[in-house]
Amino acid sequence: MRTRPRRPHLLVAALAATASLLAACGDDSEPDAEETPSLTPSTSPVASDTPGASDEPEGDLSVVAYYVGDTPRSSALYGEPHDRVGSDDPLRLLLDGPLDPDYRTLMPTGSIEPDFSFDGIDADGTFGVELTDASWTERPAGMSRREARLAVQQIVWTLNSVRGAAAADPSARTGARVDFFLDGEEVSYLGVPSGVRAAAELDVLASVNVTAPADGAEVDDTLTATGMASSFEATVPWEVQDAAGSVVLEGFATAEGWIERLYPWSAEVDVSSLPAGNYTFVARTDDPSGGEGGGPTEDTKRISVR
């Protein structure tokens, strides 16, 4: 059983200092290792603008906080980008809950310390998360195993997005492990053993995710929508609905791929013809089955046209 001294604050300098090590990392050779995450902050990382540089990050972080939402088949994780986040706030975002009312967090309030540490181990790295007391080592009554797993994956994917921000080269963003501790001794969290890596994208992430605009955004003539998707033939249909739910604009984006994982997509939406008011932007997966199997997965964002 591994132990370590408690380190209550994020070692921000270590993020950038390990960027050059991240670039040298190869595939994980452990037989039960899971797939490396690819959804990273949609905004510029807090690092040097020079590719490959490892200057110490200054100021705040860009973080993708992962929350739980419903899909036609099961619950899954949706990424919600946050800019200008303090170095001790990534886990606090998960505990406080999302901006988007369609999302939720499965992490019990008060179960973990919001501060965390980043340590280099075998040039691959790990995050250390401290539990508040021993009761959280077991799965609470009423929480399913899948819910416990998703709660842990919320942490893993969110902290990996922080690590990704330290690497100027996107190919250097590898999946770090998350260990859980109580008073310096390694423990389980919600019944999930310590030493967790990011699960495969198609196992835990929703198959479409809108990363911009943010929920509640105000837009003028043009709406720039971005996100991630794994959709049939890389087609990501979108639409704008008015307050009554009627479709007033529609189109589609083409993602960069569609089978093995989630791929980036973007769309420029001309909203200049719409009267000022409140609308909803909807992106979904293409559904050639015509609704069999529950229908398409979608993500929505409320917007205001000025």
Residue 214 φ/ψ, nearest 5 degrees: -70, 155
Select the more confidently predicted residue: 44 or 186. 186
* HSE, side-chain direction, 13 A CA sphere, residue 108: 20
Q: 122 CB contacts (<8 Å, ≥6 apart)?
A: none
Q: Which CATH architecture has domain 208-305?
A: Sandwich (2.60)
What confidence score (pLDDT) does residue 117 get?
80
Confidence of residue 76 (pLDDT cuts 50, 70, 90): very high
| pTM of the predicted model as reported, rounded to 2 decimal places | 0.79
Per-residue pLDDT, averaged over 208-221, amounts to 96
Are the CB atoms for 193 and 181 separated by under 8 Å? no
Bridging pattern class, strands 75-85 and 61-70: antiparallel
- Model pLDDT, residue 288: 84
Residue linked to tokens 């080269």: 169
pLDDT of residue 84: 80
Report the pLDDT value the prediction gives residue 3, as an integer from 0 to 100. Answer: 60
- The listed range with the strongest mean pLDDT (13-22, 115-124, 158-167, 173-182) is 173-182
pLDDT band with cut points at 50, 70 and 90 for residue 119: low
Cα–Cα distance between 16 and 127 in angstroms, integer?
A: 15
User: C-alpha distances in angstroms, 284 versus 81, 240, 241, 298?
Assistant: 19, 12, 13, 4
Sequence ranges of the domains in the chain: 12-204, 208-305
State mean pLDDT over 148-157. Answer: 96
Tell me the pLDDT band of 4, cut-offs 50, 70 and 90: low
